[in-house]
Structure 1
Amino acid sequence: MTSAEPLSPAALSALLHFYADCGVDWLLEETPVDRIAEFAEQRAARAAQRRDRPATPQAAPVGPAAGGPAERASAGAAPRGAAPAAPVAVPDADAVAAARLAAESAGTLEALRQALEGFGGCNLKNGARSTVFATGSAASGIMVLGPMPSADDDRDGLPFCGRQGQLLDRMLSAIGLARDTVLLSTVVPWRTPGNRAPSPAEMEICRPFIERQIQLAAPRRLLLLGNFTARFFLGEDGTIFSLRGTWRDIALGPLTVRALASLHPQDLLTAPANKALAWQDLLTFRHGLTG
C-alpha cells in the first residue's frame, strides 16, 4: 500500500495533471474499469481497420520498359546534376570493432560525445540531422533511456523533445524529478529512416557507445522506456507489457545497475489507457530510489 506523503504545490500540480492525462475524473468510481480490456479492444479495432482498408493499386510503369534502349544508353553515365555517391559502407564487423575502440578510449562523457560525433562507421548517421547524446545531470544517479531519436529529437539534437518530451516531463514531475536533474539519453544516437527499427548490425555498432555512456555516468537506477530499450538491455523477446514493472540487474563491464522497464511516452500518447500501468511503474521506480 502506498503511504500518503506531503507534496509541494508544484509536485501536487504535476501529479494532478498526470492523473488528468490518465483519464482520472473521480477518486473512486462506482464500478471498476478494466483498462487492460479497454486497450485490447482499441488494438482489435485498429487491426480491423487495417484489414478493411482497400489495397492501393500499383501504378503502371511509365516510359521505356526496363532494360530497353533508353535505360541501356543511360547505364554507363550518371545523370546530370545527380547527388554525389553515398559514403562507402564499412563492413559490419569492422564497424563494431571501431565503435568499441572509440567508446573504450573515452574517459569522460564529453570525450565520448566527441568520439560519437566523429564516428563514421554507422550508416544511420548519413541520413540523420543530429547526433543525439545524453543531456541533463548525472549527479542524481538516475538515468532515463529511450530507444532512438524521434523527428523532434533529430531536429533539436536533444533526447525526448516534442509531445513525447512534454509528457515525460510531467511523468517525472509526478514523482518529484525533473528533466535537468536526471540524465536523459537514447540507445541509438541517430534517427532511423522512417522511424524503422534498427537492424541487428546497427544495434551492435551503437551498443559500445551507449554501454560506455552508462559506465561513465555510473547511475544507481536506470529507467528503460519502450519495447526496444527493454529488449536491448534485458536480452529478452517479450513485449514491454511482460518486461515492465520489475527491477532487474544489468551488468555493464565492472558496473551493475538496477533497472526498471516501463512504457515509452509515445505508447501512452497512442493508447492513453496504458497510462495507469505507467503510473504504477513510476511509483515502483520512486520507491526504488531509496533502496
Structure 2
Amino acid sequence: MLLQWLSEIGADEAVSDTAVNRFHRSKLSGFVSNLGAGREEVLKVGAEKAVLSAKADIVAEDRGSSSALQGSSLSKVSTLGQLRELVDNFEQCALKRTATKTVFSDGNSKADVMLVGEAPGAEEDKAGVPFVGAAGQLLDRMLASIELDRSSVYITNLLFWRPPGNRNPTDEEIAQCLPFVERHVELVKPLLLVLVGGIAAKTLLRRSEGITKLRGQWYEYGSVDTDTAITTTCIFHPAFLLRQPKNKRTAWHDLMAIRERLARLRESRSG
C-alpha cells in the first residue's frame, strides 16, 4: 500500500545505494522545520482578523438560527451515542429525505486523530460509512503512509447526508449540520484535528481562503463551548487529488508534517 502511494506521487527511482530511513524523527523534524519556516500560523478560531466573505457571513447567520432551533438539546448531549440519536432524529435538513443512509462516522472514537471531511458521496450513501469510495481508498493509503489506519483515527463529515448528484452543499445545509459537527469534535476531543478539503476547512476555521492557502499551516480550533483549543491542520481532499494528481507531492509533504506534529503532541502529553 505504501509503495503504491509512493509510486503515485512519482517516488519511483532509487537515489542511494543504501537504504535510508526517511521517517526517522531527526530527519523528519528538520524537514518539517524547513517546510514550516515562516509559514506556521497559530490562530484562535474566532479571534482572527481575516475579512470573511459574504458567503461565510451567511453561513454564520444561518448557523445561529439553526442552533436556536436545536435549543438545549445539543448542550445536554454527553456521549457520541446520544449525538448519533439526535442526528438520526433531525428532520430540518432536506438532504435527509433524499439520502439513503445517515453517514455519521467511522474509526476509533478514542483515537488521537480526528478527520472531518465534506459530505458523503454515492458509495458512502449506500454504505452509511464515510470515505469508502475511490476517494476513501486513497485516504486509506495516505493514512497508511504515516502509519495510521481506521483503527487509529476517527472520521466524520461536515454533512451527514449526501447532496443529490454529489453537488456542493448549500450554505443552509452547512449551517443546519454545523452545530452537530462542532459538538462531535467536542465529544471526541482529539489531540489533532485534520480538516479534509476546502469546504470543511473554511467552515470550521471560519476562513474565506481556499484550501490551497489554508493547507500546510497550523491552527488552534475551538468552538464556542470548548475550553481547550485543538491543534488543527487542513489537507487536500482525496477526491481532489484523484482529479489533480500533480498535487500528490504537496499532499505528501502535508502528511509528513502531520506525522511529525502528532509525535510531538504525544510526547508533550506523556511528558
Contact kept, 8 Å, 2:98 with 2:164, in 1: the verdict is: yes
Please say if 1:218 is aligned against 2:189: yes
Equivalent position of 1:273 in the other structure: 246
User: Secondary structure of the equivalent of 2:72?
Assistant: helix
Please say if 1:156 is aligned against 2:143: no
Listed as ranges, the gaps of 5+ residues in structure 1 are 1-13, 29-90
Equivalent position of 1:67 in the other structure: none
Q: Against the structure 1 CA distance between its residues 255 and 129, is the aligned structure 2 distance closer, same or farther, given a 3 Å change threshold? A: farther
Please say if 1:15 is aligned against 2:5: no
Distance 2:158 2:218 in 1: 19
Equivalent position of 1:289 in the other structure: 262
Distance 1:130 1:232 in 2: 23
How much has 1:217 moved relative to structure 2? 0.4
Please say if 1:111 is aligned against 2:82: yes
Aligned-partner residue type, residue 5 of structure 2: F
Aligned-partner residue type, residue 256 of structure 1: A
- Of structures 1 and 2, the larger Rg is shown by 1
Q: TM-score, normalised by structure 1?
A: 0.71
Distance 1:234 1:125 in 2: 25
- Out of 214, 235, 255, the residue aligned to residue 262 of structure 1 is 235
How much has 1:204 moved relative to structure 2? 1.4
Please say if 1:198 is aligned against 2:169: yes
Please say if 1:129 is aligned against 2:116: no
Structure with higher RCO (Cα < 8 A, 6+ apart)? 2
Listed as ranges, the gaps of 5+ residues in structure 2 are 16-61, 265-271
User: Secondary structure of the equivalent of 1:180?
Assistant: coil
User: Secondary structure of the equivalent of 1:24?
Assistant: coil
Contact kept, 8 Å, 2:112 with 2:152, in 1: the verdict is: no
How much has 1:120 moved relative to structure 2? 0.7
Please say if 1:180 is aligned against 2:151: yes
For this pair of structures, how many residues does the alignment match? 217
Aligned-partner residue type, residue 264 of structure 1: H
Equivalent position of 2:59 in the other structure: none
Q: TM-score, normalised by structure 2?
A: 0.76
How much has 1:100 moved relative to structure 2? 5.1
Q: Against the structure 1 CA distance between its residues 100 and 287, is the aligned structure 2 distance closer, same or farther, given a 3 Å change threshold? A: farther
Q: Runs of at least 4 residues of structure 1 off by over 6 A?
A: none
Please say if 1:247 is aligned against 2:218: yes
User: Secondary structure of the equivalent of 2:219?
Assistant: strand
User: Secondary structure of the equivalent of 1:183?
Assistant: strand
Deviations 1:39-98 (A, max 9, x none): xxxxxxxxxxxxxxxxxxxxxxxxxxxxxxxxxxxxxxxxxxxxxxxxxxxx99764423
Distance 2:142 2:82 in 1: 31
How much has 1:201 moved relative to structure 2? 1.9
- Out of 190, 199, 213, the residue aligned to residue 228 of structure 1 is 199
Distance 2:114 2:63 in 1: 29
Deviations 1:111-142 (A, max 9, x none): 10011001111111111111111221122221
User: Secondary structure of the equivalent of 1:144?
Assistant: strand
Equivalent position of 1:238 in the other structure: 209
Aligned-partner residue type, residue 250 of structure 1: Y
Distance 1:276 1:200 in 2: 32
Q: Against the structure 1 CA distance between its residues 103 and 234, is the aligned structure 2 distance closer, same or farther, given a 3 Å change threshold? A: same
Contact kept, 8 Å, 1:99 with 1:209, in 2: the verdict is: no
Q: Against the structure 1 CA distance between its residues 289 and 120, is the aligned structure 2 distance closer, same or farther, given a 3 Å change threshold? A: same
Distance 2:218 2:238 in 1: 19
Within 5 Å, which residues of 2 pair with 1:37-186?
A: 95-99=66-70, 101-186=72-157
Within 5 Å, which residues of 2 pair with 1:21-40?
A: 21-28=8-15
Distance 1:214 1:100 in 2: 19
Select between 135-144 and 165-174 the one with higher mean Cα deviation: 135-144
Q: Against the structure 1 CA distance between its residues 95 and 239, is the aligned structure 2 distance closer, same or farther, given a 3 Å change threshold? A: closer
User: Secondary structure of the equivalent of 2:193?
Assistant: strand
**Cα RMSD between the aligned structures?**
1.9
How much has 1:17 moved relative to structure 2? 1.6
Distance 1:201 1:255 in 2: 28
Contact kept, 8 Å, 1:262 with 1:278, in 2: the verdict is: yes
